Amino acid sequence: MGKPTGFLEYTRELPADRSPLERVKDWDEFHLHMSENKLRTQGARCMDCGIPFCHTGQLINGMASGCPIHNLIPEWNDLVYRGLWREALDRLHETNNFPEFTGRVCPAPCEGSCTVGLIEPPVTIKNIECAIVDRGFAEGWIVPEAPATRTGKKVAVVGSGPSGLACAAQLNRAGHWVTVFERADRIGGLLMYGIPNMKLDKEQVVQRRVDLLAAEGVRFLPNTEVGKEYPVDKLREQFDAIVLCGGATKPNDLPIPGRELNGIHFAMDFLRGNTRTLLDRRAGLPVNGHLLSAKGKDVIVIGGGDTGTDCVGTSLRHGCRSLAQFEIVPRPPDERTPDNPWPQWPRVYKVDYGQEEAAARFGADPRTYQISTTRFVGDSQGQVQELHTVKVSLKFKEGRMTFDPIPGSEEVWPAQLVLLAMGFRGPEDFLIDQLGIARDARSNIAAEHGKFHTSVEGIFAAGDMRRGQSLVVWAINEGRGAAREVDRWLMGETSLP
């Protein structure tokens, strides 16, 4: 342990962000860098405590606690404090294939479980993680590492999001020939098209890792949807094993009067079209109407998670006229409640980048809590023009949460663009049905965590397609785990972690 009293001597400090009103003018990442001396000081705050919950990666009463991929956080914090950056990178890559992704977009359940967080603000784990891997790329320490030998086994990975890429990376490391199928025009899945560029740069960060994997021997097939352009029978014939990592891509809808009006879109369609347009323009490619523009419009985002926040940030960069974000649940408390103890993830009120930007632009946090949309109203051309809402009270009836309308709280909101960001209800059906794979009660692929084998021999599943909508870091956990079990199934044993 480099600094036994560091957590007593130093306060938590994060790098500054670009100012909200400046960064909404472009699509560049908004986090600034911190000096090496300050990063080493922040690493010194890690206590190397006897029971480091930060890397346990477990569920406590259904709530996340610690890092799902079991990052060796106290070890690389200590190495950073001592200035041993190359060694810190090696420790980081022991458990995480893509720390440049998690260091940018993970909500950091590790920090919610940090022991320092019991009495002081937690260690800046996420920022240190990102600094380690960014330095690794800058110094040229991260280079392609192709396997020394090949097994001759061929594995198909369907889906190139974080679980698919992690699975492919690990299987390739084991010496198998891996082909990744992606129906979109670019590789990366959620990383490429589901997260806006200002949070995760596509060309400098995502594509860099994809190129690295390709140099190591992973084959990528974009614009290839298995079950359509690529028949499942052909897939079964040409590969020794198949891993399904297609995500949970069926969005929750809002079937209320007026839903058929123009101008009401699922959040992912909005975000995907925006990023594709941005990248096509930068590449000098024709833009073919993918963009759903918020410019000059009154925008309402229904849903309060990360996807909703990304819709807020994207709408601001388009130049929307006004912006509101609806959440049906109550406003979270400012501090932990007794039923949300450490080391669970803290369910507390937070202001994310999108809300900070909206407040700077329009003067207030855009979120309204405990509000429900009752109907959409349009003009004579079938274009949405307004939303009708009612405030609701939260009640529990027979152990179930209900939201009862509050009489007299009705309100009308102008809106020419409505974005539905209410989560997802599972994977799409057609590929699962073609393969004849069993599902669980939530319509996800039935495959036990830790084994990942589906009901069909030789076919495995990982990520949101198996566990339901979750975090990037959980997807990496699942992709690594599925790779381990595929390797064991193919070879009779495995050395993959």
pLDDT band at 416 (very low <50, low <70, confident <90, very high): very high
Give yes or no for a contact between 117 and 61, defined as CB atoms under 8 angstroms apart: no
Fold of the 154-249+425-491 domain? FAD/NAD(P)-binding domain (3.50.50)
Question: Tokens in use for 40?
Answer: 């080493």
- How many C-beta neighbours within 10 Å does residue 132 have? 27
Structure tokens at 102: 């998690």
pLDDT of residue 397: 81
Q: 421 and 303 in contact (C-beta within 8 Å)?
A: yes
Residue 48 has pLDDT above 80, yes or no: no
pLDDT at 467: 95
pLDDT band at 62 (very low <50, low <70, confident <90, very high): confident
Beta bridge partners of 298: 322
Q: Where in the chain is the domain with CATH 3.50.50.60?
A: 154-249+425-491, 264-420
pLDDT at 2: 66
Radius of gyration of the chain (CA): 23
Of 478, 452, 495, 453, nearest in space to 151 by CA: 495
Strand order of the β-sheet with 264-266 is 264-266, 417-420, 298-302, 322-327, 367-369
CA distance 292 to 66: 37
Contact between 73 and 54 under an 8 Å Cβ cutoff? The reply is yes
pLDDT value at 388 more than 70: yes
pLDDT tens column, 234-275: 999 999 999 999 999 999 999 999 999 999 999 999 999 999
CA distances from 127 to 34, 131, 204, 254, 477 (A): 9, 6, 18, 37, 20
Q: What would the mean pLDDT of 303-322 be, rounded to a whole number? A: 97
Per-residue pLDDT, averaged over 4-26, amounts to 95
Which tokens go with 200? Answer: 């995760």
Question: Residue 180: pLDDT band by 50, 70, 90 thresholds?
Answer: very high
4 pLDDT higher than 90: no
Provide, rounded to the nearest whole percent, the portion of the chain with pLDDT above 70.
100
Mean pLDDT in the chain? 96
Question: Average pLDDT in the 87-97 region?
Answer: 97
Q: Which of 143, 235, 225 is nearest to 189 (CA)?
A: 225
pLDDT number for residue 49: 87
**Range 347-364 average pLDDT:** 97
Provide φ and ψ at 367, rounded to 5°: -80, 135
Predicted pLDDT at 80 = 97
> Per-residue pLDDT for 1 more than 80?
no
> How sure is the predictor about 57, in pLDDT bands with cuts at 50, 70 and 90?
confident
What pLDDT does residue 58 have? 85
Residue range 264-420 forms a domain whose CATH class is: alpha beta
Q: How confident is the model at residue 150 (pLDDT cuts 50, 70, 90)?
A: very high
Specify the range with the lowest mean pLDDT, choosing from 53-67, 214-228, 400-414, 482-496: 53-67
Specify the fold of 6-138. Answer: Fumarate Reductase Iron-sulfur Protein; Chain B, domain 2 (1.10.1060)
**Three-state SS across the chain?**
CCCCCHHHHCCCCCCCECCHHHHCCCCCCCECCCCHHHHHHHHHCCCCCCCCHHHCCEEECCEEECCCCCCCHHHHHHHHHCCCHHHHHHHHHHHCCCHHHHHHHCCCHHHHCCHHHHCCCCCCHHHHHHHHHHHHHHCCCCCCCCCCCCCCCEEEEECCCHHHHHHHHHHHHCCCEEEEECCCCCCCCHHHHHCCCCCCCHHHHHHHHHHHHHHCCCEEECCCCECCCECHHHHHHHCCEEEECCCCCCECCCCCCCCCCECEEEHHHHHHHHHHHHHHHHCCCCCCCCCCCCCCCEEEEECCCHHHHHHHHHHHHHCCCEEEEEECCCCCCCCCCCCCCCCCCCCCCCCCHHHHHHHHHHCCCCEEECEEEEEEEECCCCEEEEEEEEEEEEEEECCEEEEEECCCCCEEEECCEEEECCCECCCCCHHHHHHCCCECCCCCECCCCCCCECCCCCEEECCHHHHCCCCHHHHHHHHHHHHHHHHHHHHCCCCCC
Average pLDDT over residues 130-141: 98
Decide if 68 contacts 108 (C-beta within 8 A): no
Cis peptide before 196 (omega within 30 of 0): no
pLDDT digits (tens, 9 = 90+) for 425-477: 999 999 999 999 999 999 999 999 999 999 999 999 999 999 999 999 999 99
pTM over cut 0.85: yes
What's the pLDDT at 289? 79
